[in-house]
Structure 1
């Protein structure tokens, strides 16, 4: 599957809006279409959200459907689980994904397991949105990339939109889904712009996107690393190295078929994530490649590029040094392209 490029998408009449605007539009369209959809979280009302995502939704839909909550992530998610069990479709906003620590019992032991433990008699159609990642100078307790935690839990679906169009399309699909879905939005992407359909177009969960085609190596990246990998691929192309860039989009369930196809064709793969490498999500992709026939098509060992295994520092220079940047991806890809 090949995803539309910005220029091609623009030709179809899609507007160019920011990632944050795309998220807000998805929520507004879902609320207009279904009275069961409502939003709850800290400072999402008059204030408009910690990152300005909820914006004017409070003025459009009122306090009953854009519910400002106390500072209690455990209570927020618990209320959402109960509302979902009662037939509503809540959208939880957690100010920083790091704060999900306070609500892990409700997320992991309740939302993720109730459908299974009650024999399918009920479901929990809840969406939990949370900004993650570094780059804003928010230091160690507000800058983590915890996607591997959630992807490890049976019963949770996990998505990481890397474009404005997917920020809208994946969120709409998540709201429709009868299962709890964790939507992880990178903070640095909120102000990035891209073509987004005006209509409420869904991006199906569990469909990997091929963002760029190339025959020399495959780069699989998540979140903000997708745009950095695309920038790296353009630089590498100037050197005669053509890279395929793949964006899983949905981490759980993972559509690995496009990854296997590309790696089998190029023979080389670089896995890029912001999170620390130790037991990170891309380790799952590496394991799937190593445990399949794709391994016999490799021309070089699987290479991973991850954040350092340290808490994110506050100092801007150290923060930047802790996670892969475009030059790091270029260097690793260039080296990999020469290996055999």
Structure 2
């Protein structure tokens, strides 16, 4: 957006993600891990609204809103500060987050808020940032933030921030079971390191079977190919997730896995009707706090 400030406010809608492959390499000297991370954006959304203000302020409403930090450590606030500093201005903006992506759920809710705030502030302030500039700022904010900006499907390498967009045919139907509490991503990676302390962990590579399944739009092929190297660590820290995974499989899911670092669990369905049935059975099972259906891929951060 190149014109100067013409908006009273700007709202950006940003999707959640599920990892259909998350391969994790050994810990690097900087504490991060190299990844082969295949993201798929799915239709659960946060909406970020930015409005001019006297000073930077963050508010939040929606499920789990009480768990969202409202200080300058919030990724949305950090995004506004980063863009403002780059363009020599004050981050004087009120950021309001309408939250519908689970908090600390392994679906990149915080990253979505960072990407959404960055795009919204760019439009509000008329800074005219290029896509490459926005992606570089996203990468500085966090490993998953660049994907929240672009959406669709992509392979993330490095620590997940270096993206290659992927071709996808058709739509994949998912059911997500939200856990009654969150999991810290750093804690899950620490547990991954602990569990693999004596193992020879290979460098991560993208699964050709996953890429082919996405390109062909075949949910059966994708179900066989999905993987998440963080799942054992998430289950170690949150053993009850095994009951949720079992309930979804019993309900007819083609596959069941922990989404990213968890604790949200993801279930791939053969079609929309099957997803409705799986969601109903999961709700009745009492193994999760709430259950949602969503489709993917969907676009990334979008001004609405």
TM-score normalized with structure 1 length: 0.27
Over alpha carbons, which structure has the higher Rg? 1
> RCO higher in 1 or 2 (8 Å CA, sep ≥ 6)?
2
TM-score normalized with structure 2 length: 0.29
Q: Which has the higher helix share?
A: 1
